[in-house]
Amino acid sequence: MSMQPPGATGETLRVDVAVIGAGLGGTAVASVVARAGYGVALVDSHALHPPEFRAEKLGGDHWALFERLGLAPAARPALTPIQSIDIHRPGTRPVRRRAPEYGFVYSDLVNALRAGRPPGIAVRVGRVDALETGPARQVVTLADGARIEARLVVIATGLGDAVRRLAGIARTETHKAHSLSLGFFLDRPAATYPFESLAWYGRGPSDRTAYLTLFPVSGAMRANLFVYRAAGEAWTRAFRTDPAPTLAALLPGLERVCGGLGVAGRVQVRPIDLTLSEGHQCDGVVLIGDAFCTTCPAPGVGVRRVLTDAERLCRVHLPGWLATPGMGADKIAAFYDDPVKRACDADAIRASLFARAMAVEPGPVWAVRRLRNGLVRRAAALFGQGVGRHEGGMVGAGMAGAGMVGAPTSGESGPASPGCHTRML
């Protein structure tokens, strides 16, 4: 089911909360707030979320958030369950881990969440032309003249800048061209590979590679490759034009393990900047998800960050805000200061920087860290099992030996499994 068409010109809708951006975060917030009995409007410029390269794999900890937010029934039909992952690392024997994960097409997941939203959400499709904000009342004006009056505006427009700018909020690129994500399909059905899903790591700094992960999505084999390279460099151009040989050269042994390597269709290439919003402490408006900050896809922390924002906003802060008069910046600051949100964002940023440094940093400190991680993994492998036999005790972890031993974290959880944030070893 798609979103409804725009309201009549001149319409004024009065709600408690207006959510702008019906992606993962915005749809989650609108659904939770509506279920709690508040009046909600959900605005997006697209009736259906367009196909875009974003997160394509979820781990067990992500799924727990979907369940806690009541999104699991709507999300489930869009997901392909994955039971195991084979991990290939240079210098250690491959390991098969039990890893309850899910593959998906991002737009299918978002559209499923939109379709499964609870009744009562006033959905509007259109461009936001103006945003008037204040300590008590906010007015969103759409291009067709429709107006939405709300006590709070939630900006969940992801990478889009327009609405944030209307609110006078800037975005700073803290790490420009931090990494490059490549997404593509292999040319054979997923069932023809000798593994269900796979993670394959780079050999060292000269590879400039975090890892490749292969996983099933609706019967096809999808690939996400995370590298620390520029979009315009020769290697990236070669990958676009001749992906299979370029991939085989990057990860020797992959072609043999796959039983041949072919790429179907176009390679999607997405440069990743790490960004933070600036000046977001203002009356009447709160930013969530990628609208607030963006991190690197390699450690797989984005979905957790977005849904943690949704959970903390809807379950911890919003009920109190709506129960008392006013919606000033001082009230909203409690969300940005929320210790769980802050720890989640900080972990995500740390994980993004750590994963890059572990993959590409020269110098003795990182060389020693890589060596230490290799030794820890070899020791773990002595007590583990090789490919062909499942390793027990990893259900829900999906850690997959992501190479993040010793990553500095807030202590609660750490970065990095292949595409799915999980606990560290």
- Residues that contact ligand FAD, how many (by CB under 6 A): 37
419 binds ligand FAD (CB under 6 A): yes
- The C-alpha atoms of residue 295 and residue 279 are separated, in whole angstroms, by 19
Beta strands of 279-368 (E only): which ranges? Answer: 285-287, 293-294
Rg (Cα) of the chain, in Å, rounded?
22
Closest CA to 118 of 32, 46, 43, 41: 32
8 A C-beta contact, residue 142 and residue 128: yes
Which of 94, 103 has the CB closer to ligand FAD? 103
Q: DSSP letter for 142, please.
A: E
- Interacting positions 296-335 with ligand FAD (CB under 6 A): 297, 300-303, 306
Among 14, 46, 76, 98, binds ligand FAD (CB under 6 A): 46
Q: How far is the CB of 59 from ligand FAD (least distance, A)?
A: 8
Q: How far is the CB of 96 from ligand FAD (least distance, A)?
A: 21
Among 15, 17, 18, 55, binds ligand FAD (CB under 6 A): 55
- The C-alpha atoms of residue 405 and residue 423 are separated, in whole angstroms, by 10
- The C-alpha atoms of residue 423 and residue 299 are separated, in whole angstroms, by 11
The residues, ordered by sequence, that sit 6+ positions from 13 with a Cβ below 8 Å of its Cβ are 7, 41, 122, 124, 146, 147, 148, 149
Q: How far is the CB of 195 from ligand FAD (least distance, A)?
A: 19
Build a one-symbol-per-residue string for 96-115: x at contacts with ligand FAD by CB under 6 A, - elsewhere: --------------x-----
8 A C-beta contact, residue 13 and residue 147: yes
Q: Are strands 209-217 and 198-201 parallel, antiparallel or unpaired?
A: antiparallel
Which of 24, 82 has the CB closer to ligand FAD? 24
Among 57, 89, 96, 222, binds ligand FAD (CB under 6 A): 57
216 binds ligand FAD (CB under 6 A): no
Among 84, 157, 236, 409, binds ligand FAD (CB under 6 A): 157
8 A C-beta contact, residue 231 and residue 269: yes
- Interacting positions 239-298 with ligand FAD (CB under 6 A): 270, 289-291, 297
156 binds ligand FAD (CB under 6 A): yes
8 A C-beta contact, residue 279 and residue 169: yes
Using the structure block, give the residue that is written with the tokens 């259109």.
126
Build a one-symbol-per-residue string for 6-45: x at contacts with ligand FAD by CB under 6 A, - elsewhere: --------------xxxxxxx----------------xxx
Which residue's C-beta sits nearest to ligand FAD?
A: 23
Q: Which residues pair with 138 in a beta bridge?
A: 150
What residue ranges bind ligand FAD (CB under 6 A)? 20-26, 43-46, 49, 53-55, 57, 110, 127-128, 156-158, 160, 162-163, 181, 270, 289-291, 297, 300-303, 306, 419
